[in-house]
Amino acid sequence: MRTLASRKLLGQIKAQVCYTELVYQRVNKKLAVNLTKAEVEALVIAILDDDTTDVEKLGKNY
């Protein structure tokens, strides 16, 4: 179950997420798939909206 802080952070990330060509390329490469731009964006939003998604800070990264 997500904490309140985690839900807020995921909401902020969702509101501020931006996509560049590099983002699409990296997602496809890391997952070894060939998704369209729309499919990548839908995947990211689905992950951010999923109730089991949690955020952990490691150094300066989340």
Give residue-wise pLDDT tens across range 2-47: 677 788 889 999 999 999 999 999 999 999 999 999 999 999 999 9
Model pLDDT, residue 54? 86
pTM: 0.81
On whether the CB atoms of residues 43 and 56 are closer than 8 A, the answer is: no
Longest CA–CA separation in the chain, Å: 35
- Phi, then psi, of 61 in degrees rounded to 5: -105, 155
* pLDDT band of 1, cuts 50, 70, 90: low
Model pLDDT, residue 30? 97
Extents of the domains making up the chain: 4-49
